[in-house]
């Protein structure tokens, strides 16, 4: 009986240790949905990188006169998703799947409106412009 009691006590301790370990592991804060170290999720990071590169492409294709009339930092120009039907001056007949619009505010916005340049999100090529009247 003594050996049997010792065996049952050992099994009890082992079971207790296993239950405690499983409780600790099961209750750990392993939330994969939260960004780690303050990093953005992949989709947000991709959009920020794409938006930044589109701003550079748009800036580089503008004339010096247009660049001189930009109000604020051109590197912070608004980048939004647009529809093909939103593009007033189309530069291509092929409709891109996803379109981004880069909008630069200028000193002449009240008179002409902002500068709007549309891009194919995949190829990063210009597909159209806003009308400035």
Q: What is the pLDDT of residues 16-44, one digit of tens each?
A: 778 777 777 765 555 555 555 555 567 77
Q: Is residue 102 part of a domain?
A: yes
Split into its structural domains, the chain has a count of: 1
Is there a domain that residue 28 lies in?
Answer: no
pTM given for the model: 0.67
Portion of the chain with pLDDT greater than 90, in percent: 59
The Cα–Cα gap between 43 and 81 comes to 14
Q: Could you tell me if residue 78 is inside a domain?
A: yes
Helix, strand, coil percent values for the chain (each to nearest 5): 45, 20, 35
Is the residue at 4 inside a domain? no
Token pair in block for residue 112 = 């002409």
Mean of the pLDDT values across residues 114-130? 95
- Domain of 99? 44-129
Q: How wide is the angle at C-alpha 100 spanned by C-alphas 99 and 105, nearest 5°? A: 145
Strand partners, 82: 99
Instruction: Tell whether 50 is covered by a domain.
Output: yes
Structure-token pair, residue 90: 């189309």
- More confident call, 46 vs 53: 53
């Amino acid at each position: 009986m003594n050996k049997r009691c010792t065996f049952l006590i050992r099994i009890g301790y082992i079971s207790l240790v296993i239950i405690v370990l499983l409780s600790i592991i099961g209750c750990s804060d392993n939330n994969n949905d939260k960004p780690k170290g303050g990093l953005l999720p992949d989709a947000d990071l991709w959009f920020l990188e794409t938006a930044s590169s589109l701003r550079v492409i748009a800036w580089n294709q503008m004339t010096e006169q247009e660049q001189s009339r930009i109000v604020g930092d051109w590197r912070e120009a608004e980048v939004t998703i647009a529809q093909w039907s939103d593009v007033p001056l189309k530069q291509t007949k092929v409709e891109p799947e996803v379109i981004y619009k880069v909008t630069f505010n200028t000193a002449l916005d009240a008179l002409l409106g902002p500068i709007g340049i549309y891009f194919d999100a995949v190829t990063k090529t210009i597909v159209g412009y806003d009308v400035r009247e």
